[in-house]
């Protein structure tokens, strides 16, 4: 049990650093968006939504491929 304590503390510290980084990144993005015109904001947000949609499509494709392979393995 003693050996797990440093590992847990390290994981907690990593999460704190990551969440702090994410907060800083979010603040930077919002600040830069506020500097843009309404048209610029619209274009940036459309681009972000396009990236999100593409990533979700890729994840869904990979999920379905995994199911297909698992289904074939289960049948054997």
Q: Where are the domains of the chain?
A: 1-35, 37-76
Say if CB 40 and CB 48 are below 8 A apart.
Answer: no
pLDDT digits over 7-57, tens only?
A: 666 656 666 666 788 888 888 888 888 888 889 888 988 998 999 999 999
Give dist(CA 44, CA 37) in Å, integer: 11
Give dist(CA 52, CA 74) in Å, integer: 32
Q: What is the pTM of this model?
A: 0.49
């Amino acid at each position: 049990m003693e050996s797990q304590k440093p590992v847990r503390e390290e994981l907690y510290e990593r999460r704190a650093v990551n969440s702090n980084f994410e907060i800083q990144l979010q603040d930077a993005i919002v600040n830069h968006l506020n500097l843009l015109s309404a048209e610029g904001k619209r274009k940036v947000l459309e681009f972000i939504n396009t990236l999100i949609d593409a990533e979700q499509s890729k994840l869904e494709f990979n999920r379905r491929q995994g199911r297909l392979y698992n289904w074939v393995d289960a049948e054997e």
